[in-house]
Chain A
Amino acid sequence: MKEKDFYFNKEQGHARAIKIIKEVRFSEDSRDYGYMAENVPCQDGCPAITNIPGYIRCISEERFGRSYELNRMYNIFPGVLGRICSRPCEKRCRHGEADLGEPVNICHLKRSAADLKSSWHRIKENLYAPTGYKIAVVGAGPAGLASAHELATLGHKVTVFEAMEQPGGMLMHGIPEFRLPRDILDLEIKNILRLGVDLELGVEIGKRTSLKSLLKDYDAVITATGCMNAFSANLPGEDLDGVYSGLDFMMRVNNGERPKVGKEVAVIGGGFTAIDCSRMAIRLGASKVSVNLRRTEENMRIDEHEKNEAKFEKIRIYGLVRPVRITGKNGRVKSMTMERTRLIYTPEPPFRKAVPIENSEFTIPVDSVIIAIGQYPETGFIDTKIKLDGHRIWTSSDSYRTSVKKLYAAGDCVTGATDVINAVANGRQAAQEVDEFLIRRKRKKRIVRFEASAPSDRKRSDDFIPQVKLPVLDRNSRFKKITNEVELGYDHESAFKEAKRCYLCNLKFEIDVDRCIYCSACIDVAPRDCIKLIRDVEVKKDGSYGDYEETTNWRNVVAIAIDNKRCIRCGKCVEACPMDCISVTKVELIEQDLEA
């Protein structure tokens, strides 16, 4: 001890130099969660709570590997989801708010992190000590694989049972290769399996082994069997040759078959699968492909990117129609009769319902019909008494626990057909719940992290960079080979440029009211209406602050406040402040290891 003291006394200057100036605080205050949800909307919009500003910032610093890892902490398929995510985050992006231009291309940036990271990139896994527990996961789709990975890192021994001959679930069988090249998927699945996850392919539960025996042999079982049954439209003539269900059609194509579609194809339904089927039909040689909606184009649940790609491939979208019957000749489909619909208002979401208009039938000639109106889970393999919720497996609220002890369920088999990011998030959370059940305490928790930060180097001019469009294949090259990937990905430069557009909402600029002298120097340099004279502030239910009530009357001013919802993080106010009373804090919602 003495020696150490001596050393520090002697080398005081040095000691000061290595003093850690990084001050980090953590919070579990509901107000801080509220702040995060309000002020970092993209992260709040992501089911997996991915640290989006964090990984975009890494890209603008050209640290693609770090960016990939930031993603992978919450979502083990960054390369996959960088291509096919339904992008709930982009709908919430500040940049897409009215009159601020278009949202940051968050999804494509995620892909660029995966594409542009170094080829000898080091994967980081935070591994816990082995626990000795054995867990079975049924289904190697996104939810199953995500839960398997999480369980493995937590030290459990995991076995994944998959009925098909290949892992990946809908990623492998449902999504067309022109949207998701299989080598990307294979690589990311392999990285999961490297943790020692056993994968049993071709094992259908209920045939070679039963759920009952799994429950007996394993400490816990998670079912993540997805939605593998297609809804039928209950149309007369649905059994004719040339009438496909969307799911079946995609699975056959993805397994190497080339079903005959003919020249004129009518797709029924307006989801991702319907659009995938229509685009695939064009690639299979159809010349006239239509997507037929009961409601209208603006009510489709898919994002604009997909819609525009489909239109570019000459697919016509018709709204306000409903199939009535399919008629054929010699067992082969020949025509389809439809009727018109009109929209009526419903008080519940989705607020619009299509009702048929009487006596409005018309018939169109078709060579094939693809019905893609939705899927539901298969529950036939469950050989114990279990509570169901319609077609779906029931779980207790805010939990992944089913009515059967030790049996958990995650993904589409619980929620109905949703999207991949939801499945991944669900799988991971289910795994953590199983872990808590086995270990009897929480080992990871979401927490708000505060760290003093330098003002960013964002410039106002960065706000005017238009959204960098992702390069795509021209029309002719798309159709040369069914598997040609349509979207080409960003290069370094465009990824860097797009990343600069991010407002970095995770940087919180704050004026210390006690030290502010109300000189309004910051307001003078404010790039937009981001610094406000306020008379009051809304306090939300969770205690966090909401909107500011502004005033122009100095008599009523209680504070000068920075509206982080309008802030572009240019740091001009910090430079201008004569009192140095504006602080910049990096605020992040992260998963904290409670063991540490």
Chain B
Amino acid sequence: MADVDIVIEICGSAGDGTISSGEILSRFMSSQGFEIMSFDSYPSEIRGFGKCVAHSRISNKKVLSPGKYTDILIALNNAHAISQLHTLRETGIVIFDNKPPNYLEEDQSIAGWIEPGMISYGIPLLNLSQKASGSARGRNMVALGALAAIFGIDGEQMKSAIHARYAKKNKVVIDSNINSFAEGFTWAQQHVTKVDSYTFGHSKPKPSKEKKAIINGNQAVAQAAIDSGLHLYAGYPITPATKIMEIVSRELPKKGGVMVQTEDEISAIGHVIGAGYAGKRAMTATSGPGFCLMSELANLAVMAEVPAVLVNSQRGGPSTGLPTRNEQSDLNIALFGGSGDSPRIVLAPTSVNECYTCTTLAFYLAEKYQTLVIILLDFFLSNSIRNITTPVPPKANQLNSNVAPTKTALKDYKRYKLTKNGISPRAIPGTPGGMCISTGLEHSEHGHPRYDRNTHPAMTEKRFNKIQGALSEAPKPRWVGPKKNVDIGVIAWGSTAGSAHEAVLNARKEGINVAFMSTVILSPFPVKEIKKFSEACSRILVPELNYTGQFANVLSPHLSRSIERLNMVTGLPISAEDILEKIRDMAR
């Protein structure tokens, strides 16, 4: 079986069906057993002519990053695709519409920009689409058909995948998509002479024995929340977290749960805290701007020690910023965004798999440690489709992690009892004898407001101490590479970790003495492990997608050493190539 590692980009204008065809491709190729790493970028305006790119790396080996260079570019729009050509490999392939309705002026066609060595396959996308479906809307499917025919993808199976994708639509939609695909497939079979060597044909992976799920980060989070016994979801839609709400709204009622679309984000977190107070598992998901609104009320969960799970899928920039771009710049506000000394647990999954496990863990931790748990996703992780081993649903003991008071304790119930580990047994409202006061004011062990000189220090310490326990229950930071005498240590978090991991593996192949560490739990901070790693490395590099190096800033006081940084704010996910280049630079 030959190695296959091909990056396909579909590039078009809003309305061309770029993203949906990319999704079909990624899902289908995953279902064929390929490893997938996909990434979409699209304009934030709902209607218009902005550039959409569906990027998908398809390999029969494990892939960790989306891939910087494109092997196959499908151009549904000339102008946009021309601007995308710079990422095409020197021997890359372009599939384009060679029969637009009018002659294009000089240099307006992507075909004219093909560099020597690149290969272009002209497919009359528009004509074939009109032939098959009577409209221009099937161009994306025609292109997929041609792609399948040229690169050895099973057309019949892909047809059924398209069928499944549109199964809920009416027959006309299904037919026109299927017909367009078939038209593109047969046309390419008959008319295209293949002159490149890219193919999926000979390298279909063996079907895995494990059950696989083809999902993106948002789906993983939503599924995990439901599997974890979610009772209430309250939220206000915002890209890129809306999808979580969509899925929950569809699936949660079936399990007897409730989804509330609130009037704003403040209300949403209010709902969640209310449900948490009542003893039910609850969650909200938002992005940066919504997170800002929530941050005040989120402190109530910390102060009143109420379980709450808050997902923040990060996007770019302050304010409305870059709604459809990727960034890791909400780390500061997640860690330090509370007023007062406001400890919270922060988890940042590095892969779609971890999106699931982090979410189940988040519910567990929130309930056990009676506090706010923030899950930091980002645009890339939220939308990136992967082929993962079907996650194992949480076990019964994880589904109920509340530390309940003993009968004796209920005789004189102290809701905020100062215990050794900081966790005060929590009586769910309605528990006989468990009546108590919960408040956002600083309070005594019984919950009564109290501002004396001893209470606040004791309670603050208790709140900080109790979450330390989470460190031992969260996954340990991952250490890849030698355990000592490392030249360069790369520490990464969130979605950047995958690219960094791949870059380190490749750098090691090149003979650079480099090691890699990533951590899922960011607060409380796994100081011990990271310190150990730091000591083994003579230099430390932190690549991350924000301008100031927010994670490096968190790291450096712990490590008390200078940290080298790779900060990018292009709005695109960081690629392994970018990091590898930096490593090479450092090693030079």
- Residues of A at the B interface (CB closer than 8 Å) are 99, 459-461, 463-464, 525, 527-529, 570, 572
Task: Give the complex CA separation of A460 and B130 in angstroms.
Answer: 6
Q: How far is the CB of B368 from chain A (nearest CB, A)?
A: 55
Task: Give the complex CA separation of A460 and B176 in angstroms.
Answer: 14
Shortest Cβ distance from A465 into B: residue? B131
Given contacts A528-B101, A529-B101, A529-B102, contact A459 B134 (CB under 8 A): yes
- The answer to whether the Cβ of B59 comes within 8 Å of any Cβ in the partner chain is no
- The answer to whether the Cβ of B135 comes within 8 Å of any Cβ in the partner chain is yes
Number of chain B interface residues as a range: 10 to 19
- Residues of B at the A interface (CB closer than 8 Å) are 99, 101-103, 127, 130-132, 134-136
Instruction: List, in ascending order, chain A residues with CB within 8 A of B131's CB.
Output: 460-461, 464
* Inter-chain contact B101/A525, CB cutoff 8 Å: no
Task: Give the complex CA separation of A525 and B134 in angstroms.
Answer: 9
Kindly list the 4 A-B residue pairs having the minimum CB-CB distance in the complex, ordered from nearest: A460-B130, A528-B101, A529-B101, A461-B131
* Inter-chain contact A461/B102, CB cutoff 8 Å: no
Residue of B102, B127, B130, B135 with highest tally of chain A CB at under 10 A: B130
* Inter-chain contact B102/A527, CB cutoff 8 Å: no
Task: Give the complex CA separation of A527 and B132 in angstroms.
Answer: 13
Task: Give the complex CA separation of A528 and B131 in angstroms.
Answer: 12
Instruction: List, in ascending order, chain A residues with CB within 8 A of B102's CB.
Output: 529
Task: Give the complex CA separation of A348 and B224 in angstroms.
Answer: 83
- 15 more contacts with CB within 8 A, not counting A460-B130, A461-B134, A464-B130, are A99-B103, A459-B134, A460-B131, A460-B134, A461-B130, A461-B131, A461-B132, A463-B130, A464-B131, A527-B130, A527-B134, A527-B135, A527-B136, A528-B101, A529-B102
Shortest Cβ distance from A98 into B: residue? B103
A-B residue pairs in contact (CB < 8 Å), sample of 20? A99-B103, A459-B134, A460-B130, A460-B131, A460-B134, A461-B131, A461-B132, A461-B134, A464-B127, A464-B131, A525-B135, A527-B130, A527-B134, A527-B135, A527-B136, A528-B101, A529-B101, A529-B102, A570-B134, A572-B134
Q: How far is the CB of B358 from chain A (nearest CB, A)?
A: 44
Shortest Cβ distance from A566 into B: residue? B101
Q: How far is the CB of B271 from chain A (nearest CB, A)?
A: 41
Instruction: List, in ascending order, chain B residues with CB within 8 A of A99's CB.
Output: 99, 103
Shortest Cβ distance from A525 into B: residue? B135
Instruction: List, in ascending order, chain B residues with CB within 8 A of A528's CB.
Output: 101
Task: Give the complex CA separation of A527 and B128 in angstroms.
Answer: 12
Instruction: List, in ascending order, chain A residues with CB within 8 A of B132's CB.
Output: 461
Shortest Cβ distance from A462 into B: residue? B131
Instruction: List, in ascending order, chain A residues with CB within 8 A of B136's CB.
Output: 527
Task: Give the complex CA separation of A581 and B241 in angstroms.
Answer: 43
Instruction: List, in ascending order, chain B residues with CB within 8 A of A460's CB.
Output: 130-131, 134
Instruction: List, in ascending order, chain A residues with CB within 8 A of B103's CB.
Output: 99
Shortest Cβ distance from B129 into A: residue? A460
Task: Give the complex CA separation of A525 and B136 in angstroms.
Answer: 8
Task: Give the complex CA separation of A461 and B126 in angstroms.
Answer: 11
Shortest Cβ distance from B103 into A: residue? A99
Instruction: List, in ascending order, chain B residues with CB within 8 A of A529's CB.
Output: 101-102
Task: Give the complex CA separation of A525 and B132 in angstroms.
Answer: 15
Q: How far is the CB of A500 from chain B (nearest CB, A)?
A: 13
Instruction: List, in ascending order, chain A residues with CB within 8 A of B101's CB.
Output: 528-529
Q: How far is the CB of B86 from chain A (nearest CB, A)?
A: 27
Task: Give the complex CA separation of A99 and B99 in angstroms.
Answer: 9
Task: Give the complex CA separation of A163 and B550 in angstroms.
Answer: 107
Instruction: List, in ascending order, chain A residues with CB within 8 A of B135's CB.
Output: 525, 527
Q: How far is the CB of A112 from chain B (nearest CB, A)?
A: 25
Instruction: List, in ascending order, chain B residues with CB within 8 A of A572's CB.
Output: 134
Task: Give the complex CA separation of A464 and B130 in angstroms.
Answer: 9
Q: How far is the CB of A437 from chain B (nearest CB, A)?
A: 52
Task: Give the complex CA separation of A461 and B128 in angstroms.
Answer: 9
Task: Give the complex CA separation of A460 and B126 in angstroms.
Answer: 11
Instruction: List, in ascending order, chain B residues with CB within 8 A of A525's CB.
Output: 135
Task: Give the complex CA separation of A527 and B102 in angstroms.
Answer: 12
Shortest Cβ distance from A570 into B: residue? B134
Task: Give the complex CA separation of A149 and B113 in angstroms.
Answer: 64
Shortest Cβ distance from B130 into A: residue? A460
Residue of B102, B103, B134 with highest tally of chain A CB at under 10 A: B134
Shortest Cβ distance from A528 into B: residue? B101
Task: Give the complex CA separation of A267 and B127 in angstroms.
Answer: 45
Instruction: List, in ascending order, chain B residues with CB within 8 A of A463's CB.
Output: 130
Instruction: List, in ascending order, chain A residues with CB within 8 A of B127's CB.
Output: 464
Task: Give the complex CA separation of A99 and B130 in angstroms.
Answer: 16
Shortest Cβ distance from B127 into A: residue? A464
Q: How far is the CB of B514 from chain A (nearest CB, A)?
A: 53
Residue of A459, A461, A463, A570 with highest tally of chain B CB at under 10 A: A461
Task: Give the complex CA separation of A528 and B99 in angstroms.
Answer: 11
Q: How far is the CB of A85 from chain B (nearest CB, A)?
A: 31
Task: Give the complex CA separation of A464 and B126 in angstroms.
Answer: 12
Task: Give the complex CA separation of A43 and B124 in angstroms.
Answer: 31
Task: Give the complex CA separation of A572 and B131 in angstroms.
Answer: 14
Task: Give the complex CA separation of A528 and B102 in angstroms.
Answer: 9
Shortest Cβ distance from B136 into A: residue? A527
Task: Give the complex CA separation of A362 and B134 in angstroms.
Answer: 60
Instruction: List, in ascending order, chain A residues with CB within 8 A of B134's CB.
Output: 459-461, 527, 570, 572
Q: How far is the CB of A492 from chain B (nearest CB, A)?
A: 24
Q: How far is the CB of B40 from chain A (nearest CB, A)?
A: 24
